[in-house]
Amino acid sequence: MKLLFLILAVGAATASLEEEEYIPSYEGAKVYQLAPANEEQFSELFQYYGKEGHDFLRTSRALGDTTDVLVYPDNIEPFENFLAESGIQSSILTENVQNEIDEEAARQRSAPKANGRSISFNSYQRYDDIVAYLRQVAANNPRVASVFEIGSTTEGRPIVGLKLSSGGSNKPAILIDGGIHAREWIAPSSVVYFINQLAENSANSDLLSKVDWYIIPVLNPDGYEYTHTSYRLWRKTRSINRGSSCRGTDPNRNFGYHWMDVGASSSPCAETYAGKTAFSEPETAALRDFVLKNSKTIKLYLTFHSYGNYLLYPWGFTSALPSNNAELKSLAVQVNKAISSVRGTRYTIGTSTNVLYAAAGGSDDWVKGVGGVELSYTVELPGGGSAGFNIPASQIIPVGRETFLGIRVFGEYIADKFGK
Ligand code: 0X9
Ligand code: ZN
């Protein structure tokens, strides 16, 4: 009997070891900045996209522009051999990713904290602080602001948003989200900044009179919290994949429009894992249901990511242009003009497939293709810091401020086109 127990206990321990998640170390991981000079070099480099051990932090299709790839220690030697053979021009952006992460963590720890009454933009906020801020804004401005929940995550967190509206019914609405990708911290912080400006700066109250705003700063709070507590560069959700020790699905490959057509992986360990089925993730299903419920009023969808300064619009699954390409483009040009007036920050404009890469299952494509929202954009905010992803918290306000001028242009356009 004792022996049987022992066998069972050892068996259970091994099983749970197998199930345990593997967390790679960033010690010795490097970020390469690469400038493919022709199509051939670009497609050779792109063979590494979605491959384990290689993480494309920023990609550009424009020849002469740069693509940043993080390479884990075990893959460095073969990757450097590949670079030498291909002749792709390269430089090292970060010698040791762990140092960057440690420095950022130290900055996060030492930043002055919020005073409990308002939000602090001195450091990247934790999810609970963001939710508390939304509740505070609603409590302080009950006539214009109300908190809503679109669902809850795998780990049980509520996915919370704020509605801003100064009355009237059947107004056109703008839906904004951030933080679909967990590690893109500048996205939730910018979206929180927009809330701050729309709700708490009376100079912007005109933007609430003709348009309603639904703003969800963190669509993937499980992943976002995980990047704060355990694994800075986590991108996906935190769902469990049966039969694999790798967790999570790339939520921006999980939306059900041309799902898995291109640029998405069926391997649960890949950064671009599209999930077992479309909308397998509670987070993407929650956004889907919210859009369908409000599809009559939502006229514009903006989803905030980082990094790379792109104003992208559908399609991400085909290089064919959408029928309203001219409108999508000219609005983006006006937005870019407004943003760049602040300190010269410039965005590249175009369809995801044509200026970035083909990748199906994105929220932008679904919201337009199925949700029926004709104007749909993915905004890739600026990067910075010596690893690109770790744009210092001192940039939260400068990035928020310049991007908000773009939000104003979007808001005025929707008010003019659809407002009564
Ligand atoms: O690959 C993505 O999901 C986005 N870039 S990121 O670096 N933030 O991961 C771009 C998505 C563009 N839209 C579609 N491909 N539909
Ligand atoms: Zn992203």
Q: Which of 58, 219, 380 most suits a substitution to test ligand 1, by most atoms within 8 Å of the C-beta?
A: 380
Question: 133 and 120 in contact (C-beta within 8 Å)?
Answer: no
C-alpha 28: how far from chain center: 26
Residue 314 alpha carbon, nearest atom of ligand 1: 16
Give residue 180 CA to ligand 2 midpoint distance, Å: 7
Residue type, 174: I
Q: Nearest CA to 139 among 180, 207, 199?
A: 199
Phi-psi region of 361 (alpha: psi -120 to 50; beta: other; left: phi over 0): left
Predicted confidence at residue 118, as pLDDT, reads 76
Q: Which residues of the chain have pLDDT under 70?
A: 1-20, 114-117
Q: Nearest CA to 41 among 73, 86, 74?
A: 86
Domain residue ranges in the chain: 30-98, 119-418
Closest C-alpha residue for ligand 1 atom 1? 359
Give residue 115 CA to ligand 1 midpoint distance, Å: 35
In the three-class reduction of DSSP (H, G, I as helix; E, B as strand; rest coil), residue 90 is classed as strand
Predicted confidence at residue 60, as pLDDT, reads 86
In the three-class reduction of DSSP (H, G, I as helix; E, B as strand; rest coil), residue 351 is classed as strand
Say if strands 89-94 and 173-178 run parallel, antiparallel, or are unpaired.
unpaired
Q: Which tokens is 363 given?
A: 């929220």
Tokens 């404009």 sit on residue: 349
* Average pLDDT over the chain, rounded to an integer: 93
Predicted confidence at residue 116, as pLDDT, reads 60
Closest C-alpha residue for ligand 1 atom 14? 316
* HSE toward the beta carbon, residue 335, CA cutoff 13 A: 28
Say if strands 212-216 and 173-178 run parallel, antiparallel, or are unpaired.
parallel
Q: Which of 55, 180, 235, 252 most suits a substitution to test ligand 1, by most atoms within 8 Å of the C-beta?
A: 252
Question: 212 and 163 in contact (C-beta within 8 Å)?
Answer: yes
DSSP one-letter code for 330: H
Residue 357 alpha carbon, nearest atom of ligand 1: 15
CATH superfamily to which 30-98 belongs: Metallocarboxypeptidase-like (3.30.70.340)
**Non-local CB neighbours of 255 within 8 Å, separated by 6+ positions:** 278, 279, 284, 288, 361, 362, 363, 365, 366
Question: 356 and 310 in contact (C-beta within 8 Å)?
Answer: yes
Q: Nearest CA to 73 among 49, 52, 53?
A: 53
Predicted confidence at residue 111, as pLDDT, reads 87
Question: 152 and 159 in contact (C-beta within 8 Å)?
Answer: yes
CB of 299 closer than 6 angstroms to any ligand 1 atom: no
Alpha-helical regions (H) of 87-165: 97-110, 127-140
Q: Nearest CA to 367 among 284, 301, 277, 411?
A: 301
Predicted confidence at residue 5, as pLDDT, reads 47
Tokens 């299709």 sit on residue: 61
Secondary-structure class of domain 119-418 per CATH: alpha beta
> pTM for this structure?
0.94
Q: Count the helix, strand and coil residues of the chain and give each as a percent rounded to the nearest 5.
A: 40, 20, 40
Give residue 284 CA to ligand 1 midpoint distance, Å: 15
Predicted confidence at residue 19, as pLDDT, reads 54
Predicted confidence at residue 10, as pLDDT, reads 43
Residues acting as catalytic residues: 380
pLDDT in tens, 363-419: 999 999 999 999 999 999 999 888 788 999 999 999 999 999 999 999 999 999 999
**Non-local CB neighbours of 359 within 8 Å, separated by 6+ positions:** 252, 253, 262, 263, 264, 272, 316, 317, 352
- Residue-wise burial string across 175-187, b where 16 or more C-beta atoms lie within 10 A, e elsewhere: bbbbbbbbbbbbb
Predicted confidence at residue 420, as pLDDT, reads 80
Alpha-carbon distances, residue 202 vs 43, 128, 197, 208, 245 (angstroms): 50, 26, 8, 10, 50
Predicted confidence at residue 384, as pLDDT, reads 86
